[in-house]
Amino acid sequence: MAFLKGVWRFLVAIKDGLALLFLLVFFGFLYALLSAGPNPGAVRDGALLIELDGFVSEQPAAIDPVAALLSQRAPIREYRQRDISRALDLAVKDDRIKAVVLDLDRFMGGGQSSLSALGERIGAVRKAGKAVYAFATAYSDDGYQLAAHASEIWVDPLGGVLPTGPGGSRTYYKGLFDQLGIKAHIYRVGTFKSAVEPYMRADQSPEAEQAMKALYDEVWEQWRSEVAKARPKAKLDALLADAPAMIEAARGDLAQLALSNGLVDRLGDRVAFGKHVAAKVGEGRDEKIGSFAETRPAILLAAHAPSRDGSPIGVITVAGEIIDGEGGPGVAAGDSVSELIYGALKNEELKALVLRVDSPGGSVTASEKIRLAIAEAKKRKIPVVVSMANLAASGGYWISMPADAIFAEPSTITGSIGIFGVLPSGKEALAKWGITTDGVRTTPLSGEPDVLGGISPEFDRLAQATVEKGYRDFLTRVAASRKKTVEQVDAIGQGRVWAGGTARQLGLVDRLGGLDDALVEAARLARLEKDEWHPLFIEPQPDFASTLLGGLMPEPAQAQFPTDLFGRAALEQQLAFDRIAADLRMLSGVKGAQVRCLECGVVAGVPPTASTSSPWNNLFDLLRSS
């Protein structure tokens, strides 16, 4: 009996210990979360330090706690473009901010439209008489697009500047499928429906080459024009014309080459750069060599609450892949986004609605839910304006159609009006291992699509007819919304993607401009004067676990963010493998019909993401539309 009592006391002690440990961890996490918030009173006289260790995006994705804990790599940080823009606007007005410092050493990029918007804000800071200093070990296209707007560009002597322009090779899997005995059944409509070509060809078609080259040329010309305007003395054309020859002539010294050609102003490491900035804005409080007086954007934003005067104009962001069901920030879940819209319509003070779209599309049913929610707003006589960011293609265009006005940036990627389906079957692959299939059918469609025994011609006909019907639906909706004939939309559809400037000429969008322009137009449609409204940003809230983990997430390890040119090349290699994995995952099935532009993400500077695979249970589950 004494032994049993001892065991019981031991078990109770373990239980009490675990409960106490849980409470300590919980309150420790809660304290860390609460203390992680910015302190508005911490704004210092000095520089606004914008340190971009990751991507710039329209809506940072919520951190998946499970994936973050299981992954061997720390989550890559995302910085909301709107927050950085407002911080730069505040830097113009706040007398405590003497200069702006852009730390781009571990900047991984962003959409060209987002970077152009930030570039305009940086230019405004300089016009206000405040210096802007940029530093990086190496500048690629995206980093240099931002740095070009700075007063002084610094580069580490071990680094340099090497813009390469958009484009590159794409992976094709037809040869691999033939060797493995896998057949990709393709159902598509459109001459330029190149998204499925990797599964049916060993190279790109002439039509795909024509379309993508036109798109790349237009986007690249906009990049070059922006950089040339921001930094007119830079001899960029010569470097772009024959970079290998110039680098060889400079004996491989990219930093000195950049300096001699006016691409940068000074060579120096991080310590030298910090001392230079400290001489301008004041010394830092810590003892770290090269520190300077600085304020972070979050602190500056906290010190300047946005105006709430006048009537609200709602702004709802649709960012990321459009999926069915619910989801947090960074993914455009149909149920969540439509609920945000319907919830906003319950606000009787709401005078207009702006939809900020940055999406390659996705689920047809989710896209239609969002479109119907927007249509409901119009039924209630609430003006709706769409502001396209970097990417609003396929499903992203689907949800934009009902708007009273559509704004796009010159480098926005849009269009991709089309639909396709792809479904693999492995009959020959199984036969190589001696596996065969047999069975009894009551109709020609029994057991179809038979991905193991081979998809029948009857099902192929059915699937193709369904895809063609989906394309007609897309054309009809666009024609009705844009006041065109179906034939006119078909001529500019066919799955082809367009840059914003050309899309404006074709009538797919109404005007060129950013979010601020869309807000002004929404106010005009609502008959509100300049001082009679304010933007009200309505966004899905991350769950508690994601918020907690985000607040506790340590700074990313430097190994995750290469700074020199070779390190960046290695990172690009990793991203290329991620894209291959995403291509192959797509074949395993995405639930629900899709209106998605698979090739747009690379053009728009969107990092590759993995789609969630799930088994399909009806015809629409096999369709991948783009």
pLDDT value of residue 287: 74
Lowest average pLDDT, out of 18-22, 44-48, 55-59, goes to 18-22
Q: Identify the residue with better confidence: 120 or 433.
A: 120
Largest interatomic CA distance in the chain:
91
pLDDT value of residue 28: 54
Counting residues of the chain whose pLDDT is more than 70, the rounded percentage is: 78
Residue 245 has φ and ψ, to the nearest 5°, of: -65, -40
Residue 25 has φ and ψ, to the nearest 5°, of: -65, -45
Short-list 187, 197, 191, CA closest to 211 = 191
Q: Is the pLDDT of residue 625 over 50?
A: no
Q: Identify the residue with better confidence: 302 or 43.
A: 302
**3-state SS class at 261:** coil
pLDDT value of residue 255: 95
Q: Is the pLDDT of residue 61 over 70?
A: yes
Tokens of 93: 């007005």
Confidence of residue 610 (pLDDT cuts 50, 70, 90): very low
Confidence of residue 612 (pLDDT cuts 50, 70, 90): very low
- Tens of pLDDT along 444-474? 888 888 888 888 888 888 888 888 888 899 9
Distances (CA, A) of 604 to 166, 498, 625: 9, 11, 19
- Tens of pLDDT along 388-410? 999 999 999 999 999 999 999 99
pLDDT value of residue 556: 44
Q: Identify the residue with better confidence: 338 or 72.
A: 338
- Tens of pLDDT along 470-529? 889 999 999 999 999 999 999 999 889 999 999 999 999 999 999 999 999 999 999 999
Within 53-190, strands assigned E span 54-57, 77-80, 97-103, 109-110, 131-139, 152-161, 183-189
CB 292, CB 277: distance < 8 Å: yes
- Catalytic residues, which ones? 193, 394
pLDDT value of residue 171: 85
Confidence of residue 558 (pLDDT cuts 50, 70, 90): very low
Counting residues of the chain whose pLDDT is more than 90, the rounded percentage is: 51
Q: Is the pLDDT of residue 421 over 80?
A: no
pTM assigned to the model: 0.84
- Tens of pLDDT along 142-195? 999 999 999 999 999 999 999 999 888 888 888 988 888 888 888 888 777 677
Q: Identify the residue with better confidence: 122 or 595.
A: 122
Q: Identify the residue with better confidence: 386 or 451.
A: 386
pLDDT value of residue 195: 74
Q: CA–CA separation, 135 vs 101, rounded Å? A: 8
CB 416, CB 394: distance < 8 Å: yes
Confidence of residue 197 (pLDDT cuts 50, 70, 90): confident
DSSP element (H, E) containing 34: helix 2-35
Residue type, 193: K
Q: Is the pLDDT of residue 619 over 50?
A: no
Short-list 41, 597, 543, CA closest to 360 = 597
Among 16-25, 246-255, 415-424, 465-474, the range of highest mean pLDDT: 246-255
Q: CA–CA separation, 195 vs 204, rounded Å? A: 10
pLDDT value of residue 170: 83
CATH numbers and ranges of domains, the chain: 41-168+227-303 (3.90.226.10), 311-434+446-551+558-622 (3.90.226.10)
Q: Is the pLDDT of residue 570 over 80?
A: no
Q: Is the pLDDT of residue 617 over 80?
A: no
